[in-house]
Structure formats: structure tokens, C-alpha cells
Amino acid sequence: EVQLVQSGAEVKKPGESLKISCKGSGYSFTSYWIGWVRQMPGKGLEWMGIIYPGDSDTRYSPSFQGQVTISVDKSISTAYLQWSSLQASDTAMYYCARGSGGITRIELWGQGTLVTVSS
């Protein structure tokens, strides 16, 4: 089965670091762009950035440049989204998504990882 499986919900304190994951299976992981999408409570979808696992070409949306790090480990078909110092405003649902037609459309989504940052 072609799927993206994300790591479980996290509860963290402000200032802590975090790395969440997205494991692809059932397809050639290195041949499709992977993106990360944020949805803050009651708000819309926002692209954070995208990465091509084949060569690790990474592109960040301007609002997220310098705020998060996107990476991949091809050997285990897993993409990551990482923060070095979380803030309360990072509380959100995070989805990973696989691009088709390059990154022109998303036909495959992870189930989402809820990150809660609270003191």
C-alpha cells in the first residue's frame, strides 16, 4: 500500500527542540517531492517547505525560512521536520504530503502530527 505514516502527537515546552517524521512506503521514495504543511488551530493550510529526497534539494516558504529544518534519510524512506527552539505559536497540526507532477499537486497525505507547545 502506498502511504505516508507520520510520527505521533507531541507535547513540548517552549524552548525545547523537536523532530517529527514522515515515513513513505509502497513507492519509490526518492522519486517524489515531499512537503510539510502547517495548520494552526482554526486557521488555513500553509506550505512550510518541500524537499526532493533524490538529491535533498530543499526549498522553504519565506515565512518558515530559518524557523524550521526539513531533511530526509533516504536509507529509511523518511522525511523530517525539525525545530531547535519551539514557541507556543508552533502549536499546530503538521501534515507531510507527497507531490505528483513535480510538486504541482498532492495526491498522498500523511495522517498528521499534532504538536502542542505549552508551559
Partner 1 sequence: QSALTQPASVSGSPGQSITISCTGTSSDVGGYNYVSWYQKHPGRAPKLMIYDVSDRPSGVSNRFSGSKSGNTASLTISGLQAEDEADYYCNSYTSSGTPVFGGGTKLTVL
Residue numbers at the binding site for partner 1 (CB under 8 A) = 35, 37, 44-47, 49-50, 59-62, 95, 100-107, 109-112
**Smallest separation (angstroms) from partner 1 to the CB of 44:** 4
CB 102 within 8 A of CB 78: no
Complex with partner 1: residue 86 or 115, whichever CB lies closer: 115
Complex with partner 1: residue 61 or 67, whichever CB lies closer: 61
**Smallest separation (angstroms) from partner 1 to the CB of 16:** 26
Complex with partner 1: residue 50 or 86, whichever CB lies closer: 50
**Smallest separation (angstroms) from partner 1 to the CB of 86:** 23
Complex with partner 1: residue 49 or 86, whichever CB lies closer: 49
Whose grid coordinates read 522553504?
A: 60
18: phi then psi, degrees, rounded to nearest 5: -160, 145
Q: How far apart are CA 8 and CA 24, in angstroms?
A: 15
**Smallest separation (angstroms) from partner 1 to the CB of 115:** 16
For the stretch 103-110, contacts whose Cβ atoms lie closer than 8 Å and that sit 24 or more positions apart, written own/partner, are 103/33, 103/35, 103/50, 106/35, 108/2, 108/3, 108/4, 109/4, 110/4, 110/5, 110/6, 110/22
